[in-house]
Amino acid sequence: MAAPNSRNDDSLEVTTELSRINLDRVHDWLSRKSYWAGAMPRSVFDRAVGGSLCFGAIERGTTVGFARVITDRATFAYLSDVFVDPARRGTGIGKTIMAAVVAHPDLQNLRLWLLATADAHGLYAHYGFTTLTVPGRYMERRDAEVYQRLAPAAAQ
């Protein structure tokens, strides 16, 4: 499915068709250049993509951005792995991806959206995200070393 552009030109398209997204490139970005994914093994990335609604920003045939939404498509969505090619940042790609995400028909009328970010609060605020209303209600279970333990198994 192609999503509408929010830029003034036709050179950028956002798609949810996995076959059109260069997942090798996306995995490389996330595992080597993001602060949140760490050294995510490719097998873990592939499982995550398979269980999510993914958005790829394609410019002249090249994947230049990505976002992944973990959702039941009825009540809840978690926005994850939003990434724009570092060489293309500041050109509106992130905004175009976000416009496509929030406009997607399967993501309408959800009761709750969540995301975690260290540095893009301004971008997400434009799409209705705020700080947690009741932070004390949320809990986490974190395993910061899981990818290191999986690395030998993933290499087999």
| Structural domain containing residue 66 | 2-155
Residue type for 49, please?
A: V
- Residue 116 tokens read as 């975690």
* pLDDT (average), residues 120-130: 94
pTM over 0.75: yes
- Residue 71 tokens read as 């959702």
Q: For residues 56 and 15, is the Cβ–Cβ distance under 8 A?
A: yes
- Does the pLDDT of residue 3 top 50, yes or no? no
Encode burial over 14-51: b for 16+ CB neighbours within 10 A, e otherwise. bbbeeeebbbeebbebbbeeeeebeebbeebbeebbee
Instruction: Provide the number of structural domains found in the chain.
Output: 1
CATH number at residue 36: 3.40.630.30
**Nearest-CA neighbor of 3 among 94, 101, 88, 137?**
101
Helices 23-33 and 42-50 pack at an angle, to 10 degrees, of 120
The mean of the pLDDT values for the chain is: 88
pLDDT at 46: 95
Band of pLDDT at residue 154, cut at 50, 70 and 90 = low
- Does the pLDDT of residue 6 top 70, yes or no? no
